[in-house]
Chain A
Amino acid sequence: MTAALELEDVVVEYTPRGRPPVRAVAGASIAVSRGQVVGLVGESGCGKSTLARAAVGMVEPLSGSIRFEGKEVRPLRRRARPRELARLQMVFQNPFSSLNPRRRVGDQIAEAIAVLGLAPRARRAARVAQLLEQVGLAADAGRRYPHEFSGGQRQRIAIARALAANPSVIVLDEPLASLDASAQAQIANLLAALARELELGLLLISHDLAIVRHVADVVAVMYLGVVVEAAPTQELWATPLHPYTEALIAAVPHADGAGTLPLALPGEVPDPARPPPGCRFHPRCPYAFEPCPTEDPPLVELAPRRTAACWLQRPGEAPAPPAAKARDLSPAARSG
């Protein structure tokens, strides 16, 4: 299966006024196939939103390649976006700012259909009604204005508008972050169902690991601009291979009533303008050993569909949790 959206070794730099450039994405690869939900997780400032914006052509990468259905995604310029890129859509965190408050939601969805010439004028209203029903709203909801809807409903409208373009891939940047738990659950279910029914590829960017775990088929974990681990969701949660993935999972509190304190990861995310040498995670890593402060570990395949960038995991050996690998280190290597 070839991927519908493929990012390879993407590097994105920002240059703040009067300061050295910041490498927000420092060589990240990710692929999304049709019908597949890919979760992208990491702390704020890890570059996941920048990578999402680069994926749809909203920011220009410094190097690397971004291909959608075999064609290069070029950054937005003053001329119109090429028509074939309309099948690559994006949904943002805050549906209040992405919907026009002064226009009926039906008109906003119809406009997407009209601009792309996807249905003759006479059939647009029926298509709008169908899209609204597809996202779980009443067919006549299009007559109303955005403020008449709750946050969760507005996010459904934003999704309906993205669907109007008949996309094959949608990139969603924190689509659930501004919603209540029950609205989050509703939208998460909707996304999983749409991916299945319409064979949509979804790139779901979120800091909420629990939700990503629930809807994503595959998860990539980012830290300070690089992907440190990627794996099928269940395997990633059962056996995280990178110490950062392990720390992220241990920090999630569970509503089981047990009174267990979540584990805190020591230290702060370093300034992306001055990333640590060697492995970017080594100053916060409980298992850091001899090569970590000086040599940057490459992202390598350790098992089918499982990759990680950690010196503890060696290609050819059976992958195991970081703690088990650290125990097997020779005392000399450990003290380094």
Chain B
Amino acid sequence: MPTGAGPATVVDGIGYRVEAGEVFGIAGESGSGKTMSVLALLGLLPRGAAVEGSAVFQGRDLLAMGDRERRRICGRELGMVFQDPMTSLHPMLSVGTQLTEHVRRHLGLGRRDAAGRAVELLREVRIPDPEGALDAFPHQFSGGMRQRIAIAIALACRPKLLVADEPTTALDVTVQAGIIRLLDRLRHESGLAIVLITHDLGVLSAIADRIAIFYAGRVAEAGGREDLLQRPRHPYTRGLLDALPHPEAAATPLVAIGGQPPAPQDVPPGCAFHPRCGFAKAACREAIPPLVPANGRMLACPVDPFRG
């Protein structure tokens, strides 16, 4: 990515697989490359950004195909939901127009069939009075309802994969709970694969099957939900979990990770986390630790202070 101080690497060697019906969670602090890694595969990076590697979706490489072909796939077989539903909803078009435009364009349905499909979708995301909602505009809905409408649009063409970037971050916990349950129902009922990006490990703990922890554009640790959250091995994963308030230890101070994550243009040499790590050794300052298998998970920490 171009920055004021020359090009900087914001995502560096990320790899993962997501199967049908599976929820793959990506977590990390702001600036860790979570969002950039998915914008890259959707072809939505800012001008001037360069991407290497491959992103194979149903046998075809999204990074190798032309814009026109990728646009046809994105929105039809691949749905997207972002943190702020108002960035993806058009404020001046009715909900019905936005929903039917989508299915008419991508599925080639007639006006009447498209309206029927729109009502069905709004019902699926539990919008009360779906027929009435078709004529309403986005501003007439609450934040939680808008996000559910954005999800309905993303699901309109029955995608195989949903990429959701902080879909519940701006919402209240009660509304967030509804969205989490909705995503869980969709993956079980229709085999939807979901890439879920969030900084909230609680949300991933509720719904993700596997989780990757990003730090400074690289994967620090990745593994199964239960294993990773109950027995974190990377000092950064451990730090993220320790910073969360714990039900049992309410009176003790929270254990915060010191310092801040680095900006992409000044990622420290060696392990990017070493300046904030209590276990860093001399070697950590020199070589970038490779991501290697470690008892059924992937770990990029040769020190491995919490080895079982």
Q: Is chain B a partner of chain A in the same complex?
A: yes
Residues B250 and A182 in contact, CB atoms below 8 Å apart: no
Residues B199 and A180 in contact, CB atoms below 8 Å apart: yes
Residues B247 and A268 in contact, CB atoms below 8 Å apart: no
Contact bitstring B181-207, A, C-beta under 8 A = 1, else 0: 100100000000000000111111111
Contact bitstring A210-244, B, C-beta under 8 A = 1, else 0: 11011000000000000000000110010000000
Chain A residue at smallest Cβ distance from B260: A150
Chain B residue at smallest Cβ distance from A45: B142
In chain A between 176 and 205, which residues have their CB closer than 8 angstroms to a CB of chain B?
Answer: 180-186, 188-189, 192-193
Residues B174 and A253 in contact, CB atoms below 8 Å apart: no
Q: How many residues of B contact A (CB 8 A)?
A: 47
Q: What is the minimal beta-carbon distance from B222 to any residue of chain A, in angstroms?
A: 14
Contact bitstring B230-247, A, C-beta under 8 A = 1, else 0: 100000000111011101
Residues B243 and A181 in contact, CB atoms below 8 Å apart: yes
Chain A residue at smallest Cβ distance from B242: A185
Q: Which residues of chain A come closer than 8 Å to B173, judged between CB atoms?
A: 207, 209, 248, 251-252, 262
Residues A257 and B230 in contact, CB atoms below 8 Å apart: yes
Residues A186 and B256 in contact, CB atoms below 8 Å apart: yes
Contact of A184 with B243 at beta-carbon distance under 8 Å, contacts A43-B172, A207-B173, A256-B230 already known: yes
Q: What is the minimal beta-carbon distance from A22 to any residue of chain B, in angstroms?
A: 15
Residues A182 and B257 in contact, CB atoms below 8 Å apart: yes
Residues A259 and B205 in contact, CB atoms below 8 Å apart: yes
Chain B CB count within 10 A is highest, among A153, A247, A258, for A258
Chain B at the A interface: mostly helix, strand, loop or mixed? helix
Q: Which residues of chain A come closer than 8 Å to B144, judged between CB atoms?
A: 268
- Chain A CB within 8 A of B136 CB: no
Chain B residue at smallest Cβ distance from A271: B142
- Chain B CB within 8 A of A335 CB: no
In chain A between 242 and 272, which residues have their CB closer than 8 angstroms to a CB of chain B?
Answer: 247-248, 250-265, 268-269
Q: How many residues of A contact B (CB 8 A)?
A: 46
Q: Which residues of chain B come closer than 8 Å to A269, judged between CB atoms?
A: 142
Contact of A268 with B145 at beta-carbon distance under 8 Å, contacts A255-B201, A261-B180 already known: yes
CB contact between B203 and one of A211, A253, A268 (< 8 Å): that residue: A253
In chain B between 237 and 285, which residues have their CB closer than 8 angstroms to a CB of chain A?
Answer: 239-241, 243-245, 247, 250, 253-257, 260-261
CB contact between B177 and one of A214, A255, A263 (< 8 Å): that residue: A263
Can you give 19 contacting A-B residue pairs, CB < 8 Å?
A43-B175, A44-B143, A152-B260, A180-B199, A180-B261, A181-B29, A182-B240, A186-B256, A188-B245, A247-B174, A251-B177, A253-B176, A253-B177, A255-B205, A257-B227, A259-B226, A261-B180, A265-B178, A268-B142
Please report B residues at the A interface, Cβ cutoff 8 Å. 29-30, 128, 142-145, 172-178, 180-181, 184, 199-207, 225-230, 239-241, 243-245, 247, 250, 253-257, 260-261
